Structure 1
Amino acid sequence: MAEEKKAKPSGVWTTVKPFVNGGASGMLATCVIQPIDMIKVRIQLGQGSAASVTKTMLKNEGFGAFYKGLSAGLLRQATYTTARLGSFRILTAKASEANEGKPLPLYQKALCGLTAGAIGACVGSPADLALIRMQADATLPAAQRRNYTNAFHALYRISADEGILALWKGCGPTVVRAMALNMGMLASYDQSAEYFRDSLNFGETSTVIGASAVSGFFAAACSLPFDYVKTQIQKMQPDAEGRYPYTGSLDCTMKTLKAGGPLKFYTGFPVYCIRIAPHVMMTWIFLNQIQKLQKKAGL
């Protein structure tokens, strides 16, 4: 009887563990990477280069400005990364089972990454909106600032002032961006990890670092154009006549192409890549360490 009682929680833990581990590793990575993320958003809002943005923020707002929106960033990881990494592991496990335990081909990993990205984005879109709003707030004229005190205050104000569905404003481009990012991040990580481990005989640490670096580059390259459009949609405000600058993501894409050409979508790519790659690397490294500790603890 005692063994049967233990088996049930064990089964539940096995199911939820990929989600718990994914969220925890993402939150730890976010604590380290938040300042770079803030600079990336300011560059996309047209405030200058990485150096000038950093200097201006330090001079006018102080060091604490780099961590503005951290609560929203952590909430985003607790929802988005929990859902996407957990879903990816569940999906790849099911696919591997259907494939009789053989390594999955790249296209199947990519499909799992696309699906996991869509699931994660739908779950994490409200927190992502709160994060963008809080990071962009200081760039607005004083009269237009929303002055959210934390992520939960932002979510409450958005739903109260604009309606509950406004929490998913920009969800379309968010989902598309997440699908592109996760296809690049998750599929390339698993594929390169297999290559480094099985073909190049790398050790565990070298495999994790090398695969996560490859993963970070592809995540950035695949997702930045969608991230740019998503940011423009989420930060827009109506003019004096109540009209928004863009009617949707397609309108934003076409106007951006007309105004700046295709390279406009890669505004801030070096900083974005520097921000995405370390976050991806740290997420995988933290995840690896969490799994090691759980293994030692027999979890």
Structure 2
Amino acid sequence: MTGFAGVLDAALLYSFRAAAVVRIQLGQGSGYRVAKNMLAQEGVGAFYQGLSAGLLRQATYTTARLGSFRILTNKATAANDGKPLPLYQKALCGLTAGAIGACFGSPADLALIRMQADATLPEAQRRHYKNAFHALYRIVSDEGVLALWKGAGPTVVRAMALNMGMLASYDQSVEFCKDTLGLSEGATVVGASAVSGFFAAACSLPFDYVKTQIQKMQPDANGKYQYSGSMDCFVKTFKDGGPLKFYTGFPVYCVRIAPHVMMTWIFLNQIQKFEKSIGI
């Protein structure tokens, strides 16, 4: 029950913030303007479009990446004779875990983007997705099975960047807070989680921007797409707006990512304490 509550909370936060971030990245204005228009025109429910996809994403992507990260770090620690891993090894484990999680979660992530972008389209072009599974069904029907992994390249790269920032910085921050600052366990978890959330957002937003542009694409009347691929999207975006264009909506994105990361670590810490208490 606790595990489901944690997944639900994370999905609610992710869906709420992703709804605004996707629209900002689609060029609909600042965070305040987007949120105001969504609330005025569509109501509170607009912030939770794609909630079912958010739940599916948490159940696949988050589970796979955190589980694989612990497996990788445990094996690396054992190979290191039980000594703490250096930062570069933690970063490598984080990169690998991110790639594994993204491969599992890419279809759900695509459904989430499509469901949230659908409301921004003219009425005649909307698919009116009922839930994540209906979105996945429509994508397969209209574009084929492989379309479920459209944008998988930038999704994997984005996940690798996010996990490198999130996982490596967390373990390093825990060591600093505990050994250098002498903080209590609770303060250490909260402090390290906050640092982890910031670095996760900073490292991943440029890739998230490209991923969103690729995943929201749908063929025009001639069957052509706006971008031929991730690199084409990157080059055109860089030419149009420079490097800062990739950080469009960073405050909102950081508010979206950081609390989610913090909740993930706090929840995971409680699970580990429970496992130890029952001897697992």
Of the three residues 24, 37, 44, the one matched with 1:63 is: 44
Shift of 1:41: 1.1
Aligned to 2:105: 124
Aligned to 2:20: 39
Distance 1:221 1:43 in 2: 17
Question: What aligned pairs does 1:240-279 form with structure 2 within 5 A after superposition?
Answer: 240-279=221-260
Unmatched tracts of structure 1, length 5 or more: 1-19
Q: Are the structure 2 counterparts of residues 91 and 33 from structure 1 closer, same or farther at C-alpha, using a change threshold of 3 Å?
A: same
Unmatched tracts of structure 2, length 5 or more: none
* 2:156 paired with 1:182: no
Shift of 1:289: 2.3
How many pairs align?
279
Question: What aligned pairs does 1:15-94 form with structure 2 within 5 A after superposition?
Answer: 25-94=6-75
Aligned to 1:7: none
Shift of 1:27: 4.3
Of the three residues 142, 152, 166, the one matched with 2:123 is: 142
Aligned to 2:149: 168
Q: Could you say which structure has the larger radius of gyration?
A: 1
Shift of 1:243: 1.4
Aligned to 1:10: none
Q: Kindly provide the amino acid, as one letter, of the partner of residue 88 in structure 2.
A: Y
Q: Are the structure 2 counterparts of residues 26 and 217 from structure 1 closer, same or farther at C-alpha, using a change threshold of 3 Å?
A: farther
Shift of 1:26: 4.8
Deviations 1:160-212 (A, max 9, x none): 22111110000001001111110010000011111111121111111111111
Shift of 1:291: 2.9
Shift of 1:33: 4.1
Aligned to 2:215: 234
Check the 8 A contact 1:72/1:130 in 2, yes or no. Answer: yes
- What is the TM-score with the length of structure 2 in the denominator? 0.95
CA root-mean-square deviation: 1.6
Check the 8 A contact 1:25/1:284 in 2, yes or no. Answer: no
* Range with bigger deviation, 91-100 or 46-55: 46-55
Sequence identity of aligned pairs in percent?
77
Deviations 1:91-150 (A, max 9, x none): 000000000110000000000000000000011100000000001110001111111100
Distance 2:28 2:221 in 1: 23
Q: Are the structure 2 counterparts of residues 83 and 24 from structure 1 closer, same or farther at C-alpha, using a change threshold of 3 Å?
A: farther
* 2:194 paired with 1:213: yes
Check the 8 A contact 2:169/2:195 in 1, yes or no. Answer: yes
Shift of 1:268: 0.3
Q: Are the structure 2 counterparts of residues 87 and 164 from structure 1 closer, same or farther at C-alpha, using a change threshold of 3 Å?
A: same
